[in-house]
Each structure stands twice: as structure tokens, then as C-alpha cells.
Amino acid sequence: MAAAEAILKAFEPLINKDHDFCLIGINEQLPIPQFSQQLVYDLLDEAVSIFTQQPNLIRLDGNIYIVGDIHGNIRDLIRIIATAKPPPYSRFLFLGDYVDRGEYSLEAICLLLSLFVCYPDHVTLLRGNHEIDSFNSIYGFKEQINALYGSSLLWERFNTVFRFMPISAIVAENTLCVHGGLSPLLKHIKQLETLDRSANPPCELLNDIVWSDPSQVTENCIQSSGGHGCLFGLTFTVQFLLQNNLTRLIRAHECIKNGVKCSKDEKVVTVFSSCNYKHEGSNQCGIIKINKDGDLIAFNLSLIPTLKRSDAVFQKISYGSKQIINSLRMVSPYPSIKRRGSWVQPISGLLTAPKNNYLAAGLMSPHADSTNNNGNKAQLQVRNSLSTGSSFTFRRKSIWQLTVRPETERKKVIFWNADSGEFDDSLPTRKLPPLVSSPPDAEINRSFSSGNMSFVPPQIIPPSNLISCKNK
């Protein structure tokens, strides 16, 4: 998991509910990570080793977030993870279409794969129609990789990995989740479990699963006039759900103005999770939560502006056998941090806590001699001016949690105390959960058609259009 952990570590400063997500990529204190080709290759190797062990159909318990199309929208992806609370505090099911269209396809899929590798029990990634090489060779993903690395070999490797992604999930025993929809070839759920998902090109049934759309022009299931997938109507959907003892179908694949759309009969729910998809202001970012009883709540996040790649601030991240190296300058206005010795694991960003004037300066080896004078001091040298300005605001405990991941408990954190003008390395080494603490859940009541619902994801941006569907 070394590559996944390195990539996730680079994203950790951005997955922070306390900052303005509109500043990601435009503020030099919040640069978007870029990764070396070797790091991405290693991530793909780690991911495919897990995908190949997963079945076509994943069965998941309730109490899970369901996310629709991302399409390279890295800022929406980051705020979804941050506001819903990142793993291991929340579980996520992503429905596909992670790449193409948007300008940050590589960064988005790297973040998703790193979350999946580090938390395979908390993150499930299904395949969408844009995880097929014949389509992501046209709509931006291949072009982006060629521009960044000067070769399409990495793009080919991505598509090898995509072919092993699961294609469907059943949540809380009553909800079928796929990227697109149903097929006239699909009579029973068991068919999903036995098809060859790695075939290239995909078989007709898999092609329908990732391409089909619900329709009001037919009651049955007919070929789509667009040439891919099918259009499935109400009668066909109800019969399929009854035959398979299911309550509803949740799918993505279509841009929805308010982010989430529930059919009148509440049998089909569409979620789309990338705002401004067609043009600025065209649609909101939607997310769904299914609680432990199988009931559903849908909500949307407020619009944030699109950031052109040509205007973005990036920070290149690569790694050797023992360390992560930030190949660009550290985020301004802070001075650089000198790295002394290969055992040092430098942080990818600077974290300040104005409430008690502490700055996380980096990590040191517990076995290093901090008193030697041979130029290889264990302490990282940071000038007093580091105490000026602020990057992120956390309590001291949060700095510790964000800097030290559980698997690095052998390391020690060095803090710069701006009050005393000295390093403080007296804090004990301990094992803490990653990223954030888990606050109490908040609850709110809303109603929709079928009745009342009393659950809302904790610390989510208040939705402007809230829908709730009671399990039937």
C-alpha cells in the first residue's frame, strides 16, 4: 500500500472541512497534488490486486454514501469526501465515470484508487461507461495522460485495471446499484455474478448495464436510439425488482440539475456528483445516503466555480524507496523545510493552529541523535517566521492526527512552538485514527411523498433540495 498511502497523504491537507473548497488549486497553500509516473504505476498494481479478488456483484450493508459521476471534478470529489467524513468514519459506494470531460481526471482517479486501496472495506468503486478504453480515449483521459507523461502506456495500464472493477452492488439487501441501468438480457441478479467483466470489448449485457437509461416513452425495455444501451420503462423496472426481491434501483450516468432525481414511483433514483457539468451553473452536485434500515435520503451541495487546469496551482509528488519528495517548492509564503537524511518523511503541506500557536514541522526518527553536530541533525530546521500566517486551522490534536497515520506510529512529530521559539518534541508517540475525529451525528426531519425520514449525514453542507424516500 506504499503508493496509495503516499498519494492519500498528499491529499490529506485538502480533505479538511474547515477551509473553503473554492480555494483548492487556486491558493498556493492548497495546491493540487501531481504524481510521478512510477507512483501511479505502483498505485495501479496495488488496486488491481484487490479488484481481482472482488466479485462482479458487491453486497453491502446500509449506512453508506452513494456517489454518482465525478468526471474529473477533483474539487467536488474532495468536498464530498470531506463533508461526509472520510474513511474509516464513513463508507462510500461510487457508481463509475471517474474520468473524462473534466480537467482533473488523473487526480480524481488517483484519489479514488488510493482511498480504495487503503480502505477496501469502506470504499467500493463500480465501473462506468467511461472506464472503457474506446470512450476514455476520446473524451479527455488519454489526452491528459499523454500531456503529463508523454506516453499512452499509463493510459493502457489504467484501462487494464478498469476491466477488473466490479459492475454492480446491492445495498441493505434491497437496493441494486449500477452505473447505467437495466437490460432486456438481465432477468436475474445471478447473471451479474457470472458474466466476464474483464472481456474487451465488454459483452452486450455489461454494455447495457453501464449505458442504459430510464425512460417514460416506453413501459418495457427497448434499444436506445443513441446506439448504446437500452431505454427501460416503469413496467419492466417493477417486474425486474419484484422478481429479484428488490425495492429500488440507484444509478448514475445522467446529468441531473439538482444532483439527485427520484422517479414518481420511487423505484429509480439517479445521482450525479459533478457540478457545472455542461456549463457553469448547469447542475448541482448530488449525493445519496442509505441508512442501516435501507431508507434513502438524497441531498445536494451548493455550486462552486469550475477551475481551469491552466489556472491551477499544482505540487508534484514523487517517491523513492524510503521517502516522499515534494519536487516543487513548499507552499508559499512559508520558507522551505530542509530534509536531513533518508529516514525523514516530510509533510506535503504546512498546518498551523493559531489557537495555540503550534505548527507541525515534520517527522523525525525516534532513534536519531538530535544532539550531534555533523550536519545530519534529526530535527527539521524551520525559521521563526513559520509562525506567521495560517494555512489550515485545527486543534493541536487534529494536527497530530493529520500528520501521523496509524501505520507510522514509530515516528515522532516535531512541533514548532511560536510562543517559546523552540521545537517541542515532548509529545508521546501514540496510535491515532487518520484524518478527522468523529463528531456526533446531526439529525433533521424532511418529508417526501412516501412519508417522513429522520436522518441527515453529519456535518454536510445544508442541501437546498432535500429528498427522502422511505423503504417500501
Lowest mean pLDDT among 235-244, 289-298, 340-349, 372-381: 340-349
Q: Do 125 and 203 have their domain in common?
A: yes
**Residue in 130, 188, 279, 367 annotated catalytic:** 130
What are 225-253's pLDDT values in tens digits?
A: 777 899 999 999 999 999 999 999 999 99
Q: What is the pLDDT of residue 468?
A: 57
More confident residue, 318 or 406: 318
Burial state string for 1-27 with b = 16 or more CB within 10 A and e = fewer than 16: eebbbbbbbbbbbbbbbebebeebbbe
Give me the domain span that covers residue 244. 2-301
Q: Do 113 and 177 have their domain in common?
A: yes
- Identify whether 163 is part of a domain: yes
What are 411-449's pLDDT values in tens digits?
A: 333 343 444 544 444 433 333 334 433 333 332 222 222
Highest mean pLDDT of the ranges 111-120, 215-224, 337-346: 111-120
More confident residue, 340 or 79: 79
Q: Which three cell numbers mark 16? A: 479538511
Query: What is the rounded distance in angstroms from the CA atom of residue 154 to the CA atom of residue 334?
Result: 34
Q: How far is CA 104 from the centre of its chain?
A: 13
Domain count across the chain? 2
Highest mean pLDDT of the ranges 17-21, 113-117, 453-457: 113-117
42 phi-psi bin (left φ>0, alpha ψ -120 to 50, beta other): alpha
Q: Do 201 and 85 have their domain in common?
A: yes
- Going by pLDDT thresholds of 50, 70 and 90, the confidence category of residue 360 is very low
Q: Is the per-residue pLDDT at 177 higher than 70?
A: yes
Q: Is the per-residue pLDDT at 108 higher than 90?
A: yes
Q: What is the pLDDT of residue 408?
A: 35
Query: What is the rounded distance in angstroms from the CA atom of residue 70 to the CA atom of residue 90?
Result: 18
Q: What is the pLDDT of residue 383?
A: 25
- Identify whether 45 is part of a domain: yes
Q: Do 343 and 399 have their domain in common?
A: yes
Task: Check if the beta carbon of residue 68 is closer than 8 Å to that of residue 286.
Answer: yes
Of 382, 405, 424, which one is at a domain's C-terminal end?
A: 424
Q: What is the pLDDT of residue 17?
A: 75
What are 189-200's pLDDT values in tens digits?
A: 999 999 999 999
Q: Do 273 and 376 have their domain in common?
A: no
- Identify whether 461 is part of a domain: no
Q: Which three cell numbers mark 456? A: 441527515
Q: CA Rg, the chain, in Å? A: 23
Q: Do 105 and 148 have their domain in common?
A: yes
| Other beta carbons within 10 Å of 122 | 16
- Identify whether 205 is part of a domain: yes
Report the share of the chain in percent with pLDDT over 70: 67
Q: What mean pLDDT do residues 58-64 have?
A: 97
Q: Do 273 and 344 have their domain in common?
A: no
Q: Do 15 and 128 have their domain in common?
A: yes
Q: What is the pLDDT of residue 289?
A: 96
Report the share of the chain in percent with pLDDT over 90: 60
Distances (CA, A) of 391 to 21, 54, 387: 13, 40, 11
Q: What is the pLDDT of residue 469?
A: 62
Q: Is the per-residue pLDDT at 387 higher than 90?
A: no
Q: Report which of 231, 299, 294 is spatially closest to residue 262, judged by C-alpha positions.
A: 299
Q: What is the pLDDT of residue 471?
A: 63
Give residue for cell 450493508.
61
Q: What is the pLDDT of residue 388?
A: 32
Q: What is the pLDDT of residue 322?
A: 31
Task: Check if the beta carbon of residue 15 is closer than 8 Å to that of residue 86.
Answer: yes
Measured over the CA atoms of residue 156, residue 157, residue 160 and residue 165, the dihedral's sign is negative
Q: Is the per-residue pLDDT at 78 higher than 60?
A: yes
Q: Which three cell numbers mark 17? A: 472541512
- Identify whether 237 is part of a domain: yes
- 130 among known catalytic residues: yes
Q: Do 184 and 117 have their domain in common?
A: yes
The CA angle 241-247-253, to the nearest 5 degrees, is 80
Q: Which three cell numbers mark 126? A: 463500480
- Identify whether 457 is part of a domain: no
- Going by pLDDT thresholds of 50, 70 and 90, the confidence category of residue 144 is very high
HSE, CB side, 13 Å, CA atoms: give it for residue 437.
9
Q: Is the per-residue pLDDT at 391 higher than 90?
A: no
Q: Please report, for the domain that includes residue 71, its CATH number.
A: 3.60.21.10
Distances (CA, A) of 149 to 171, 209, 364, 395, 408: 39, 33, 33, 39, 31
Give residue for cell 456528483.
273
Report the chain's mean pLDDT, rounded to a whole number: 75
Q: What is the pLDDT of residue 38?
A: 95
Measured over the CA atoms of residue 85, residue 179, residue 134 and residue 138, the dihedral's sign is negative
Those residues whose C-beta lies under 8 Å from the C-beta of residue 385, and which sit 6 or more positions away, are 334, 335
Q: Do 93 and 30 have their domain in common?
A: yes
- Identify whether 320 is part of a domain: no
Q: Do 282 and 352 have their domain in common?
A: no
Of 301, 322, 356, which one is at a domain's C-terminal end?
A: 301
- Identify whether 430 is part of a domain: no
Q: Do 84 and 217 have their domain in common?
A: yes
